[in-house]
Amino acid sequence: MTKLKLIMDVDPGIDDSLAILFAAKHSSIELLGLTIASGNIEVNQGARNAYKALSMVNRTDVPIHKGSLLPLKRNYVDATDTHGKDGIGEIYFPDIDPKEQESAIDFIIKSCYRYPNEITIAALGPLSNLAMVIQKDPHALQLAKEIVIMGGAAKTHGNCSEVAEYNFWCDPDAADTFFEAKPKNVTLVPLDVTYKILLSPNKRDMIRQFNTPLSTYVYDITQFYVNFHWNQERTLGCIINDPLVIAYLVSHHILKFEKGSVDIVTEGKALGESIVDFRMLSDRPPVNIALNVDSKAFFHLFLTTIFDDFKDDIELMFRKEMLG
């Protein structure tokens, strides 16, 4: 079986880090490289955090390409209130800079031409890098097999304002540039579905019981997130947005979609909002918008992939319905 050739464009970030572990460990994914943008945390620390995640699963063979330092036009606002000052829950591991590579922009363009119609891009941060790819070479992304984006809010509330989700809000001009370029085969995984992906205290504690360096790392980086969610919105547990994209890539049926066209608000009170037109009255191509998710199937896949040594325990816990 040919593996899915994947580039992950990330801003790690706690949930990005979990998505990296997930993709790096999944047997049907060939992780070509990580590209980093400033988002949850600025790009240099993001690259270190990405390296940390890869090192936890012995995959430092995957190259890390740094990209955009700043949003296209707007002032940069990070999300360290959510992710901690170091971007991964203030665990302050010893910093290791990954090996210097070519820029994220060049890497994405080169990969698209090298493997036409084979590359999948999972965009889990602000779309600054992809917008810069479009600006540098408008044709390149049309060669991607699929671009799956975690971002936006279709029929639910935002997390940066009533209507705006962080990734699009952080760099709305990049998101607008992206959708304006009418790329094909785009799938959007918005807050409508990621809000349902709650890593509950029960699940976290099972992970802790595994008592391995990897499980300790996952437990530790999510502690800050748990506290944030409780203080901010009285959610018990943490919402882990980004790994859902990886789950979809290897198991399409986890998400259910409707088609809509997407436009991004770049000014005013609704800044960063993704306006989804399900009637598709504009000339923009349809985007698959995820609106429903099988969250139990997600967690089964996510946990058994990352903690494959504990598959039997995980399944037992599911059977005993102890993971709510």
Partner 1 sequence: MKRKVIFDTDPGIDDAIALLTLLNSDMFDVLGITTVAGNKGIEHTTTNANKIVTYMNQSIPIYQGAYSRYPVVKENKPSDHLDGGDVHGKDGLGGIDLKVNPELFKQESAIDFLVRCALEFPNEVEIISVGPMSNLALAIEQDEAAMRQIKKIWSMGGGVRRGNVTPVAEFNYWFDPDAVEKVYSIGDEVPIVMIGLDATHQCIFDMNDLTFMKLACGPKGEMMAHMVNDYVKAYWTVNGYIGVVIHDLIAVLAAMDEDICTTLTHTHLDIVMGGKAHGQCLVDLVDSWKKPKNAFVCMDLDVRKCKEMFLKTCFTKEVMERYREVFP
Residues lying near partner 1 in the complex (CB under 8 A):
155-157, 159, 161-163, 232-233, 263-270, 273, 275-279
User: Which residues contact residue 300 at a Cβ distance below 8 angstroms, ignoring those fewer than 6 apart?
Assistant: 314, 315, 318
Query: Could you tell me the smallest distance in angstroms from the CB atom of residue 111 to partner 1?
Result: 32
Residue 30 or 180 with smaller CB distance to partner 1: 180
Please, which residue, 61 or 233, has the CB nearer to partner 1?
233
- Bridge-partner residues for 197, per DSSP? none
Cβ-based burial of 107 (10 A; exposed 0-12, middle 13-18, buried ≥19) = buried
Shortest spacing between CB 78 and partner 1, in angstroms: 19
Segments in the chain forming alpha helices (H):
14-25, 43-56, 80-83, 104-114, 128-136, 166-170, 172-180, 191-194, 201-210, 213-233, 243-250, 295-306, 311-319
CB closer to partner 1, 155 vs 311: 155
Closest CA to 132 of 268, 35, 41, 241: 35
Nearer CB in complex with partner 1: 28/232: 232
What is the rounded radius of gyration, in angstroms, for the C-alpha atoms of the chain?
18
Q: Is the CB of 104 or the CB of 191 nearer to partner 1?
A: 191
Q: Taking the complex as a whole, how short is the minimal distance between the CB of residue 72 and partner 1, in angstroms? A: 17
Contacts of residue 274, defined as CB under 8 A and 6 or more positions apart, other chains included, come to 151, 152, 153, 154, 165, 168, 175, 188, 190, 262, 263, 264
- Tell me how far apart the alpha carbons of residues 47 and 271 are, in angstroms, rounded to a whole number: 28
Minimal distance, residue 232 CB to partner 1, in Å: 7
Q: Name which of 27 and 292 has its Cβ closer to partner 1.
A: 292
Least distance from C-beta 277 to partner 1, angstroms?
A: 4
Closest approach, Cβ 265 to partner 1, in A, equals 5
